[in-house]
Structure 1
Amino acid sequence: MFEFRLGVDDLATTWFAHSPLQETVLSLRARRSAARYPEQQAWIAGWQSRYETLDTELLESLIAPVGFVPDFLTPRPVGPRPDFSTELGRLARTPAEVVRADVIAAYRSDGGVLPPVLARLVDDPAALTARVAEALEAYWTRCLAPVWWPRARSVLEADIAHRGRMLSERGAEGLFAGLDDRLSWQAGVLRLDDPHPAVRAVGASVDVAGRGLVLIPTLFGLGAQTDITQVGPPLICYPARGRATMGEGLTGAHRGAPGGPLAALIGAPRARLLALLETPASTTELAHRLGVTPGAVSRHLGALTAAGLLDRSRYGRSVLYRRSRLGDELAGGRS
């Protein structure tokens, strides 16, 4: 179990971020565990031929058998929306002794042995870091950045917008309680209880002590997790809401519009949008999920917002829409 002790000032400096580098690294889990990440498999199939041209031996060694990754691969974001190149630059500057220690710690905690490629390079951390940075940059550029990341980013930003709403409505206790079942909050202590014996064995008690706790949604977590070593500033990654929607729009299975009285009242396209917007989403994401143009979606969103059925909020460069309380009542949902 990990325990994070937060004072009042620490709560005031708890913040959210998403990380393109973290998602790049953790996406390799979905290749190994297809059954655990079914929503990602159509994406993976789509870029398979490009992936096979990469340094796959190294990329696939970065995920230890039960899913651990060396901590240096997922540095804590320095801002809420870092760009990939900035994060990769920080990774490339990781001190050699940290790289070596993190690789060994990840596999030791996992109970596995180093794969041949890591065994050859672990005693030359500078060469290992350079090769990792090159492999991740190629993977990002050829497979993830063109189409997958814009979609993934909209899901992550929608999650963060939702968490902000929960914090304003329910306070810190309600926020932490809603992040993941592994997390619990009591008397200034946030506990992360992972059921895996290897994780419990490396548990720690952490004083946030003015360093700020960052909360990071991910599409590739089966539960909340944190750094193995706890050397750097504290962070917790947790499964993002809406991650299952990553599979929508790729097979056409979700493009139909609901029928019934609501569709008769406001039209099938608007009824479909209202059904989708139980969780926040951007115009671009909705267009992708429905297989239509952003312009077509935008016109319907404007009408639904003007009718008081949707709320809109800005997060960074994105405008996110979500059903209002009136929209919830009309759609038969819950607030």
Structure 2
Amino acid sequence: MRFTHTLGVAFETHLAEARYADVQQDAFSEWRRKVKRKLRHRAPTPALQGLSGPPSPTGGRLFQTAAVEPFWQRIRGHLERENSARLRSVLSEGVEGVLNQLHPGISWRAPYLRVDTATGPEEIELAGEGLLITPSLFATHPLILGADRTHTGVPALAYSISLDPDSASTIWQEEEEDRDASLRDLLGHTRASVLACVRNPKTTSEISRCLHISNPSASKHVGVLRRSGLVSTSRRKGFVLHSLTQLGEAVLG
């Protein structure tokens, strides 16, 4: 028996389609909204039943690109932390203690591991052939997978983990949103908006209208950004234009 943090992005994608099809308000609601925008209301086919293989090369790949890959680094980190916690528990409570704490639908009574799956209770006899145990973010119920479906040569037990609101808000934040939030923390909301506004060169009046701030306020923020080396100011055809420097472009990403 051994523990691993994930069976991979394709496995989680397979389960994520069923989560996406769910309409309840839960820790995945923000994720569904973001995926829906990406897919432009494409309706996925729920893939929980069967788990016969990886997502289809067309629709499944599109769904994986939109729904899982943008968040995968955080999802994997969350699963790694869960797996590490279980490994620490093995040292203090033993394997039997951990098996009985994985999930309310999983219980151990030697030599059988009882698992309440989505299709009903199943039992695994742990008789030395090995078992791979892994957490899953998108699984709605514990799952038992045969050795032929894990690519590891041993059967696997994937148990669903709960997602608290704080973890959810962190996981569903995308890289671009991260960068924008960090920039706002660094510069302040208005100044960060001014910096983004001058991706295309603008006059002070244009910045003012774009951001709904006064001309003196726009001029003040541009001055700070210019002294910081993020914005340059030049005169073109009688207009004073503000634009990003190379450093400003690098900061915006």
- Same fold by TM-score, threshold 0.5 exceeded? yes
CA distance in 1: counterparts of 2:50 and 2:10, whole angstroms:
13
Q: State yes or no: 1:239 paired with 2:160.
A: yes
Q: Which residue of 2 aligns with 1:181?
A: 104
Q: State yes or no: 1:29 paired with 2:9.
A: no
Identity %: 19
Q: 1 or 2 for the larger relative contact order (CA 8 Å, sep ≥6)?
A: 1
Q: 1:1-335 maps to which residues of 2 (within 5 A)? A: 13-18=1-6, 19-35=8-24, 38-52=26-40, 56=43, 59-60=44-45, 62-63=46-47, 68-73=48-53, 91=54, 132-146=56-70, 148-194=71-117, 198-200=119-121, 203=122, 205-227=123-145, 233-242=154-163, 244-249=165-170, 292=182
Superposition deviation, residue 217 in structure 1: 0.8
SS at match of 2:113: strand
Deviations 1:79-106 (A, max 9, x none): xxxxxxxxxxxx4xxxxxxxxxxxxxxx
SS at match of 1:45: helix
SS at match of 1:71: coil
Q: Which has the larger radius of gyration?
A: 2
Deviations 1:272-318 (A, max 9, x none): xxxxxxxxxxxxx9x96xx558xx9xxxxxxxxxxxxxxxxxxxxxx
CA distance in 1: counterparts of 2:165 and 2:134, whole angstroms:
17
Q: Could you say if the C-alpha distance between residues 34 and 241 of structure 1 is closer, same or farther in structure 2, counting changes exceeding 3 Å? A: same
Q: Which residue of 1 aligns with 2:251?
A: none
Mean alpha-carbon deviation: is it higher for 181-190 or for 164-173? 181-190
Contact kept in structure 2, 1:16 and 1:216, CA below 8 Å: yes
Mean alpha-carbon deviation: is it higher for 158-167 or for 18-27? 18-27
CA distance in 1: counterparts of 2:172 and 2:14, whole angstroms:
25
CA distance in 2: counterparts of 1:45 and 1:231, whole angstroms:
35
Superposition deviation, residue 193 in structure 1: 3.2
Contact kept in structure 1, 2:113 and 2:126, CA below 8 Å: no
Superposition deviation, residue 215 in structure 1: 1.1
Superposition deviation, residue 207 in structure 1: 4.2
Superposition deviation, residue 187 in structure 1: 2.4
Instruction: Please identify which structure carries the higher helix content.
Output: 1
Superposition deviation, residue 231 in structure 1: 6.3
Contact kept in structure 2, 1:166 and 1:175, CA below 8 Å: yes
Instruction: Please identify which structure carries the higher strand content.
Output: 2
Mind listing any 5+ residue stretches in structure 2 that lack a counterpart? 187-253
RMSD: 3.5
Amino acid paired to 1:170 = E
SS at match of 1:47: helix
CA distance in 2: counterparts of 1:187 and 1:143, whole angstroms:
39
Deviations 1:120-160 (A, max 9, x none): xxxxxxxxx8xx122222222234212x1112111111100
Superposition deviation, residue 210 in structure 1: 4.0
Q: Could you say if the C-alpha distance between residues 144 and 221 of structure 1 is closer, same or farther in structure 2, counting changes exceeding 3 Å? A: closer
Superposition deviation, residue 222 in structure 1: 3.5
Contact kept in structure 2, 1:180 and 1:239, CA below 8 Å: yes
Amino acid paired to 2:94 = G
SS at match of 1:237: strand
Superposition deviation, residue 186 in structure 1: 1.9
SS at match of 2:58: helix
How many residue pairs get aligned? The number is 177
Q: Could you say if the C-alpha distance between residues 243 and 44 of structure 1 is closer, same or farther in structure 2, counting changes exceeding 3 Å? A: same
